Structure 1
Amino acid sequence: MVQHSLGEFEELVLLMVAALHDKAYGVLILEKLEEKLGKKINISAIHVALKRMENKGFVKSSYGGITNERGGRRKKFYVVTALGKRMLDDQYALRNSIYRLIPKISFG
């Protein structure tokens, strides 16, 4: 059985792909992540993460139609796959199980 892994940045990109559902493309993913994280991200980092995750089977891509506003270029859209959703669910469960280990400590 193949052991799949998901890095922290990949997880953020995959979460945004899932959140945007069938409207996810590189620049929109970038804008939404920058908005949520409050910092600048390099578009190349988004594209590299998407390519890696597509190779792992976490996302699949398809091209939209040609538009004049894009100079005849098509957008590449991404959707999360069943495997990608399972990875997100597993990450969520893992993070919550570790979070629940934090003792009830008063800091104030």
Structure 2
Amino acid sequence: MSDYAASQIRDAIIEGKYRPGDRLVEMDLSTQLQVSRHPVREALRRLHREGFVAVRANRGAVVADVDAISILEVYEIRAVLGALALRHLLLGRKGPSPEYLKKLERLAEK
């Protein structure tokens, strides 16, 4: 469920439905997405790590000031990871090792 929530919120930010500085209220998002607050909370944490959401003292989660270059970088990384997962699936592998995924995450954060 948190994957679904993160995807929906991320897409809404990219499409401009949520503007930089807009508050992202867990209760409102859970109602809109028809999920409980826990998946929304996890989704907001993930989006914070990805740079789409900022957490402000006394304000909670707000949409970060994301530029087009950053959005393209995120989608390029997701495309590469998706292709890698498909390759492993087609070759009958279970997928990349946790160590390899952590290495990719560290590279993506740079």
TM-score of the pair, normalised by structure 2: 0.45
Higher Cα Rg, which structure: 1
Q: Which has the higher helix share?
A: 2
Q: Which has the higher strand share?
A: 1
